[in-house]
Structure 1
């Protein structure tokens, strides 16, 4: 399976982060208490090492962990760059740019594609779906902040010897972080899956359960025309939608529909992260 550059841009940027951003964080932490500085330094090293290892284990769970952890390097880099420490201009700019690059690289569709397909079984090919536009406007960011702040605020207060508030923040924050992480993980488990029997739409946000469309049922899978009347399962996601048109109507169950949500469709719309790669694969698997 070809993925283009896949995760390699992120792996390179992340592997070199101690060299490019290490001096920036060292200067920012230099004036803090010894216990706090030691705890944060160990935390940064541990997070860096863990994510570097995870970056070489392409799985959907790894994708969630990478995107939660690596995106946090951007606000951390901004905090360190704004701190009035002893870091020179070159260290500030270089470290901040490296942190921002890591945050953007981990969100690349090509990386997501490789990690989503890494969870495939046998002769499968999984393609990640784009998140709903409405989720991008707040819920995803809110959930990410809940994970990062919930997981780190308590230990940081404890490291700074604020025992009571640190303990309370840990007791409240860790369960909150776990709940939010599980919610974010649903985004890494939304796939269009090609299997020997046909194609499966696996989307817990749009469908009650995964639906298999057999090869002999599928008329075409191609970019949707502007006037398409297909049933919309994109959830308003940005990007090119693909139209999966069937030879005969099929019943599908909509997720979270209080009225039962079973509808008969002759065609449906979905929005993979890499639509061109999906259509090319469909030509091989569905014809």
Structure 2
């Protein structure tokens, strides 16, 4: 072993130098490609390698001391002395590099610690923002649900108000003497709706033969119905279920007269009929209203365009329905 150590000093030092050089190259690469997640692992690995290098250097120094001790009293040859001097300088250089590497490792460890701390703080900030965002999202969803609920409530109230308005209008326009005067406004639009099939018929407001009498209404087809479809105005009479039906005489037998009023007061279109007592249209209603009955060929559509008459004027038409109440108490 002493002979081996004496003859392989140069080889051992060369191996140590190569090892230190590799470590230095790895640190240079690490510096260029700084990857925080991998940096901690590389720092630990290089620190372990430095410890190994220091141990190897200490071993070589010890070997040199042993060789020197054995050769005391003997004058070293010039060649051996030169090798020893050279290797001593190499050892000093390695020590200096080791110190530099220790300093770099400490610096990198500090950088890694700072970066880890910053990453941890950023992660906490992100988590806090996510929690705040979730709370905001939950709040928005809650508000949206409340708004939808309020919209539904408002829509229901609007429908209820519209129904009340319609009921009030019907009561305001209702007559109790068996005579209905019905103004059909916005005639052209309603006529176009009838032509297109969007709204084929229109119901009039209800009217009564008396305060406690029959409840009735009219129904008009502006583009005709049945035999009159497409060529006549069709006009019908409808018995409706009323509050006092239990006190009235059934079937309904009163004469009904239809009039389409000429707003020039020249020639009204008039037709009349007496109810058929056997028809279900004139029996006591079991539903909201009976089947309409009347005049499908009440007036030719071509007559609406008469220049001599004004059946439609200012986009309005007037229909009058008269129910004979002379024999009703």
With the length of structure 1 as denominator, give the TM-score of the two structures: 0.25
Larger radius of gyration between Structure 1 and Structure 2: 2
With the length of structure 2 as denominator, give the TM-score of the two structures: 0.22
